[in-house]
Amino acid sequence: MRTLWKGAITFGLVSIPVSLYPATRREELRFRMLRKSDLSPVSFKRVAESDGKEVPWDQIVKGYEYEKGKFVVLKEEDFARVDVEATQTVDIMNFVRMDEVDPLLFYKPYYLEVGKGGDKAYVLLREAMEKSGRIAIAKVVIRVRQHLAAIKPQKEGLVLELMHFPDELTDISRFAEPQERKIAAAEMKMAQQLIESMSAKWNPADYVDDYRTALEKMIEAKVEKGGSAKPAKVRRRHPENVIDLVSVLKQSIRETCAGKTTRKRQGKGKPRRKAA
């Protein structure tokens, strides 16, 4: 796997050489825009809104719209003037408790691989954070942009997770709060019972992208049949107005338990397929 970034974690006078690797992958199915009559690929042109004329790259500048229809142009030297120095370090500012940080701030994880000669300091940092119940909050420059980030213990290693700056989150007070405040004891008991009946041991293999899988199968079928395959019908559940919450919870519990029993019977009757 290609290294995204190489540098060092610094806290106090300690410096730990590390390499950064993506911790997630998302393989989207890519589609091209085609002309319906002959399936010729359609390209996009840079067209000016005022006269509809195509604009060459050397005539394009960057502008910020400070009022409706009014722009201020920024040149490359303007961006360079406010550019942050790419120091190739993950500078830890402080350590905080994980439960004190809003989960909405985290958005993209990376693996931190220890570099040559940094093993002892790397292990020390990981274990010290694990025992203290804290994570590190740092700043790092990746591809000329400064990011807020967290360093977290992850099994035998460390991960760096990019974060939104707090002022980037939408204020939750802008959204309507639920008006219902009182929950009946019977409703709470049924809700907890439903949660218990739907509880399971975490198994990552149980969770797959059903839409992508179905889409890939449909594309394969269309290719085999010369583009004539029909997509399978998707059964959609429509929301209903809940009148008697307790009775709905009871029905949900019954259906959940019945579903678990059916899956167990099917699991016993079928031999497990070996992975290819």
Domains in the chain (CATH in brackets) are: 5-24+83-167 (2.40.290.10), 183-200+244-263 (no CATH)
CA distances for 160 relative to 11, 56, 151, angstroms:
14, 40, 5
Q: Is 220 exposed, middle or buried (0-12, 13-18, 19+ CB in 10 A)?
A: exposed
- Check: CB of residue 249 under 8 Å from CB of residue 187: yes
pLDDT, tens digit (0-9, with 9 covering 90-100), for 75-109: 888 776 765 555 688 899 999 999 999 999 999 99
Specify whether the backbone of 159 is left (phi greater than 0), alpha (psi in -120 to 50) or beta: beta
262 vs 114: CA distance, rounded Å:
48
Overall size of the chain counted in residues: 276
Secondary structure letter of residue 267 according to DSSP: H
Residue 5 forms beta bridges with which residues? 20
Hey, is 15 helix, strand or coil?
strand
**Which among 122, 86, 104 has a CA at the least distance from the CA of 5?**
86
To the nearest 10°, report the CA torsion of 33, 34, 35, 36: -110
pLDDT, residue 274, reads 44
**Which among 172, 177, 141, 138 has a CA at the least distance from the CA of 158?**
138
- Check: CB of residue 72 under 8 Å from CB of residue 63: yes
pLDDT, tens digit (0-9, with 9 covering 90-100), for 103-113: 999 999 999 99
pLDDT, residue 126, reads 94
Please spell the DSSP secondary structure of 67-132, one letter per residue. ETTEEEEE-HHHHHHTPPP--SEEEEEEEEEGGGS-GGGEEEEEEEEE-TT-HHHHHHHHHHHHHH
16 vs 115: CA distance, rounded Å:
7
pLDDT, residue 276, reads 38
**Model confidence pTM above 0.75:** no
Residues of the chain below pLDDT 50: 229, 231, 271-276
